[in-house]
């Protein structure tokens, strides 16, 4: 495949928005502003050039990671596949074709040239573990252990729990 790959260094201009497709896939999106700079030797100062805005989309686990790690204003480095789209914009009597460049992220990270970060590697079962901890807090560890035990017994156990009251931990329905 002949995709064009971009690397953009810039700042998030909005908070990350996490959504889900109808099939349940997670997708996060955010916008990045990147301003070119050059050093003016004659005046010995930095001069800002044009600012470019990119919409970035991240899928699946990266979407969850980005949504829980980044927020508006953070400096980031984004690497991804370029996607372009056109949109008609009507201004009075004139119609303009607007061209937008989007990035489908391959990698996203904090720009460590402008700050520090603490990295925590996610495990595939981290979502399951966090749900187990929430259940244990709500229902008690004994109930969660019991649910694990009958879950491992599978079809051998005829009594399947159908519902549990989250506040009390009471088993409401057994089928």
pLDDT tens-digit profile of 45-103? 989 889 999 999 999 999 999 999 999 999 999 999 998 888 888 888 888 888 888 99
CB atoms inside a 10 Å sphere around CB 6: 19
Q: Is 144 left (phi over 0), alpha (psi -120 to 50) or beta?
A: alpha
Please check the confidence at residue 161 and state whether its pLDDT lies above 50: no
Contact 12, 72 (CB under 8 A): yes
Please check the confidence at residue 167 and state whether its pLDDT lies above 80: no
H helix intervals, the chain: 60-69, 126-139, 141-153
Please check the confidence at residue 147 and state whether its pLDDT lies above 60: no
SS (H, E, C) 112-125: CCCCCCCCCCCCCC
DSSP code for 14: S
| Domain range list for the chain | 5-112, 127-174
Instruction: Please give the CATH topology (third level) of the domain spanning 5-112.
Output: OB fold (Dihydrolipoamide Acetyltransferase, E2P) (2.40.50)
Is the model more confident about 10 or about 121?
10
Please check the confidence at residue 164 and state whether its pLDDT lies above 60: no
Q: What is the mean pLDDT of the chain?
A: 80
DSSP code for 67: H
Dihedral angle of Cα 31, 96, 81, 23, to the nearest 10 degrees: 70
Contact 159, 150 (CB under 8 A): yes
């Amino acid at each position: 495949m002949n995709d064009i790959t971009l690397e953009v260094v810039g700042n998030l201009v909005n908070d990350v928005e996490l959504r889900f497709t109808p099939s349940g896939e997670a997708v996060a999106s955010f916008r990045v502003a990147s301003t070119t700079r050059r050093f003016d030797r004659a005046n010995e100062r930095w001069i800002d050039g044009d600012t470019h805005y990119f919409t970035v989309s991240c899928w699946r686990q990266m979407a969850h990671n980005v949504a829980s790690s980044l927020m508006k204003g953070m400096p980031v480095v984004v690497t991804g596949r370029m996607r372009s789209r056109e949109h008609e914009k009507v201004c009075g009597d004139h119609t303009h074709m607007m061209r937008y460049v989007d990035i489908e992220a391959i990698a996203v990270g904090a720009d460590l040239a402008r700050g520090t970060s603490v990295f925590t590697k996610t495990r595939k079962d981290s979502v399951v573990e966090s749900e187990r901890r929430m259940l244990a807090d709500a229902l008690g560890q004994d109930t969660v252990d019991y649910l694990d035990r009958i879950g491992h017994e599978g079809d051998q156990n005829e009594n399947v729990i159908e519902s549990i009251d989250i506040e009390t931990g009471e088993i409401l329905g057994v089928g």
